Amino acid sequence: MASRLASRRFRDLLAGLGYLLPALVVLLSFRVIPILLSVRVSLYDWGMAGAREFVGLGNYLAVLQDGVFWKSLLNTGWYMVFEVPITLFLSLFIAVLLNQKIRGLGAYRTIYYLPVVTSIVAVSIVWKWILHPDRGLLNYILSWVGADGLRWLQDPRGLFQLIAGDTANRLPFALRGPSIAMCSLIIMGVWKGIGYNIVIFLAGLQNIPQTYYEAARIDGAGRWRTFRNITWPLISPTTYYVLIMSSIVAFETFAQVWIMTGPPAGGPLSTTKVVMYYFYENSFELWRLGYGASIAFFAFLIILLLTIIQRFVLERRVHYG
């Protein structure tokens, strides 16, 4: 009896492994093995045609002393600080509006989601023309109200510098805010990513029982009190997920920088050179593969640290009940 039971468990184990095998092969082939090989590459001065010399942690130490890397990290930070909160607020606001019984709701949802499924290359090319300083649609619209157009993708001035004028020129470079070129990328990033977050927020909103809102109306609660005391706490898991995913996606921004601010990419005075582009530039333009791999691992560690901080600070405020 015991032997038959053990034999049956062994067959079940083999069957389970058989079902998992395709996923494990894909995971090992395209995730685990490339990561391990990247670790190996980062320990070498690995150049073109496979020429390499073992340097140990030399690449990592060089990255920490690289001023361009820290500037690219600052640019990435400015992008995240502006793009993530704006996208979060607008997507939640629009999701609340769409969570109503209105005509043509499916059409509205489709329109907002279209940018998400559109190729980032096509979107970047279109926005590059929209932001063109001479023939761009945005400057043309600004001319209707008598406003001066900007050289959106070629202007290295910081946002705070533009707002405050000459008084901001005395500020350190790091405190002048994102450049106008980076602000252009932020506008495009918000437009591109807002549709996905709207769909996620809509799913969270539609899972809230209507009895809560009926009770709030009976008690005389207004829209703001209803949102603050019912809607916001009950969609906190959705907000937590959207915040973490939006932060990761924002940190990994690359394609629009390469297409919209090149050649050479990185924008005016390298004010749009983000970490992922700096990794690409070293790895596949300068062929410093070992150095590029070390930049990628620093990026991984930063994303991991940000995620841990967000989880430590925000998860206690999430209401799963």
- Span 143-186, pLDDT tens digits: 888 778 888 898 888 888 777 776 666 767 777 789 999 999 99
Q: Which of 54-58, 82-86, 304-308, 313-317 has the lowest mean pLDDT?
A: 313-317
Whether 172 and 32 map to the same domain: the answer is no
181 neighbors 155 (Cβ within 8 angstroms): yes
Whether 92 and 5 map to the same domain: the answer is no
Whether 18 and 148 map to the same domain: the answer is no
Q: Look at residue 158 and tell me if it is in a domain.
A: yes
Whether 11 and 85 map to the same domain: the answer is no
Please tell me the distance from the alpha carbon of residue 114 to that of residue 123, in angstroms, as a whole number: 11
Q: List the CATH number of the domain containing 254.
A: 1.10.3720.10
Q: What is the mean pLDDT of residues 46-69?
A: 87
Whether 94 and 190 map to the same domain: the answer is yes
Please tell me the distance from the alpha carbon of residue 271 to that of residue 286, in angstroms, as a whole number: 20
Q: 9 CB contacts (<8 Å, ≥6 apart)?
A: none
Whether 21 and 82 map to the same domain: the answer is no
The structural domain count of the chain equals 2
pLDDT in tens, 181-228: 999 999 999 999 999 999 999 988 988 888 888 888 888 878 888 888
Q: Look at residue 33 and tell me if it is in a domain.
A: yes
Please tell me the distance from the alpha carbon of residue 189 to that of residue 84, in angstroms, as a whole number: 9
Q: Look at residue 277 and tell me if it is in a domain.
A: yes
The residue with greater pLDDT, 12 or 302, is 302
Whether 74 and 26 map to the same domain: the answer is no
Q: Look at residue 52 and tell me if it is in a domain.
A: no
232 neighbors 118 (Cβ within 8 angstroms): no
pTM: 0.89
Please tell me the distance from the alpha carbon of residue 159 to that of residue 165, in angstroms, as a whole number: 10
The residue with greater pLDDT, 258 or 17, is 258
pLDDT band at residue 2 using 50, 70 and 90 as cut-offs: low
Q: Look at residue 189 and tell me if it is in a domain.
A: yes
Nearest CA to 252 among 61, 122, 72?
A: 72
Containing domain of residue 66, as a range? Answer: 60-317
The residue with greater pLDDT, 9 or 117, is 117
Q: Look at residue 47 and tell me if it is in a domain.
A: no
Whether 32 and 82 map to the same domain: the answer is no
Whether 161 and 71 map to the same domain: the answer is yes
Report the percent of the chain where pLDDT is more than 90.
39
